[in-house]
Structure 1
Amino acid sequence: MTAADVPRTAADVVRAAGTAPDLETLDARVVDCFACPRLVAWREAVAAAPRASFRGQTYWARPVPGFGDPHARVQVVGLAPAAHGANRTGRMFTGDRSGDFLFAAMHRVGMANQPTSVSADDGLTLTDVRVTAPVRCAPPANAPTPEERRTCGPWLAREIEVVAARVLVVLGGFGWQAVLTTLSEQGWDVPRPRPAFAHGAEVVLRRRAGAGAADGRALTLLGCFHVSQQNTFTRRLTPEMLDAVLLRARALADG
């Protein structure tokens, strides 16, 4: 991508995402995005003032692309990269406690070759699953604005089209609402009133007629409590609960 092609506005993101012919091109364009000034400033400020435990490390400090099997039938969708997690390592859910919990579960159910995820070059590979997010840059206070989520939405929409997964496991209520909004804006029929988030909630969506090459395609959303420390330390989300959701996602994909 030339300097002139780097996405710097919402319109640039629509063009760059919509014309990406494959996943490799899409991921490369995501990494070069500068469309949200507040998020660009924050991701770089965090990198300039790392936590003491990460001092001396070079932070990624760029948008984070999805990671995993390019032909996955299941996609796990969070909300945004963690400031000292994926914003540091450059890989979704890598380098923080949330990722420790998530990838350990994937390993238990046969979706990952190892239970840990500490760096982008640690040898982790995923089978039949890909992790992603509706917002690709770490936001202040873990809270992207509606405008930032809307600007970033075309990246997720194109990734869903290219990967062609059958199930989205959506982590947490904030992520659930962000995904429903993004899918609605990108051509999917979302019921009104919107389906409420719940752990284990299942919703089947279809592409609206005329929305694109995937017209009529079905996609199942499966809700799961977020793998945040707040949920895992209090056992609101247990390993057994997360395993059950991942196994259910695989069963739905098989069905």
Structure 2
Amino acid sequence: MSPTVRATGGVFCQFCGVDTSSELITNPSGHPADAAPGAGHLAELDELVSRCTACPRLVAWREEVARVKRAAFRDEEYWGRPVPGYGPADAEIAIVGLAPAAHGGNRTGRIFTGDRSGDVLFRALYDVGLASQPESVSLHDGLTLHHLRITAPVHCAPPANKPTPAERDTCRPWLVRELDLLRPTLKVVVVLGAFGWQALLPVIADAVWEVPRPRPKFGHLAHAELPATDAGSPLHLLGCYHVSQQNTFTGKLTPEMLREVFDRAKQLSGIG
């Protein structure tokens, strides 16, 4: 049985059977537990993610934000859909965040794009050679990521930036399949924030890596090496404070601290 099937077979979904109404998506991809395992490559997975309507509360919120808009962006057309991962299919490093921002990824269609958190993140990635430019402002800005893919355990912008546990678990099969497809090259996962850390560990435990007990605790620069069960390479988990405005404005997370994390990720991945 594949890691995807093992990891999604027991996920409880309080929304199963609900016909979720979406004004932006006319051809829903179906429940993630059914749709995700069938994706043969990352481009197909991303397309399926962008058509997900599995969580009624998140569908209603993301589309309301896209209708009402923020005054500063009133002339823009919001994405208003689930935001898929971004980056090459042969990435050695992955970043796992929380969820798209209402007026960031939910507006632009690219994760961590169009908000101040993304400004800090992409500046650091550019500084260490993992991004082609220091800014990410739209889907058409020419940004290329090197050796790196960015994703999240929840693909829709949630109210108050707080997805429910049920929404997190409903979205989980997308992340499981993404890790399946990245498996041939993936060496390091940088996890932004405690929520992403806690959401990722169950996925890892059902994939091809062993999670020790007690489970590794989140912290900035926390490091855990997880052995593989398929005779492949181990996976390195690196913790990093989230690039939220609260953390960056108060100095809890500085640009120097962020660059240190990504330099460490490059070292562990073997890309220099």
Return the TM-score normalized by structure 1.
Answer: 0.91
Give the residue type in structure 2 aligned to 1:109: V
Aligned-partner Cα distance in 1 for 2:231–2:194: 27
Give the gaps of 5 or more residues in structure 1.
209-213
Aligned-partner Cα distance in 2 for 1:216–1:115: 34
Give the residue type in structure 1 aligned to 2:91: A
Mean Cα deviation higher: 159-168 or 91-100 = 159-168
Partner of 1:195: 216
Say which of 97, 105, 112 aligns to 1:78.
97
Partner of 2:174: 155
Aligned-partner Cα distance in 1 for 2:258–2:140: 25
| 1:154-178 alpha-carbon deviations (Å, 9 max, x no partner) | 1111111212211000001111111
Partner of 2:84: 65
Partner of 1:211: none
Task: Decide whether aligned partners of structure 1 residues 141 and 185 sit closer, same or farther in structure 2, where only a CA change above 3 A counts.
Answer: farther
Say how many residue pairs are matched.
245
Return the TM-score normalized by structure 2.
Answer: 0.85
Partner of 1:6: 29
CA displacement at 1:137 relative to structure 2: 0.4
Aligned-partner Cα distance in 1 for 2:95–2:117: 13
Report if the CA contact (8 A) 1:154-1:186 is conserved: no
1:252 aligns with 2:271: no
Say which of 126, 131, 134 aligns to 2:150.
131
Identity %: 58
Report if the CA contact (8 A) 1:150-1:182 is conserved: no
Partner of 1:228: 244
Aligned-partner Cα distance in 2 for 1:185–1:38: 27
Aligned-partner Cα distance in 1 for 2:27–2:82: 18
Map 1:30-49 to 2 at 5 A.
Answer: 30-49=49-68
Say which of 180, 196, 204 aligns to 1:183.
204
Task: Decide whether aligned partners of structure 1 residues 234 and 140 sit closer, same or farther in structure 2, where only a CA change above 3 A counts.
Answer: same
Aligned-partner Cα distance in 2 for 1:201–1:187: 21
Aligned-partner Cα distance in 2 for 1:187–1:250: 22
Q: SS of the residue aligned with 2:173?
A: helix
Say which of 233, 245, 253 aligns to 1:237.
253
CA displacement at 1:183 relative to structure 2: 2.6
| 1:1-54 alpha-carbon deviations (Å, 9 max, x no partner) | xx77721xxxx3122111111111111111111111111111111111111111
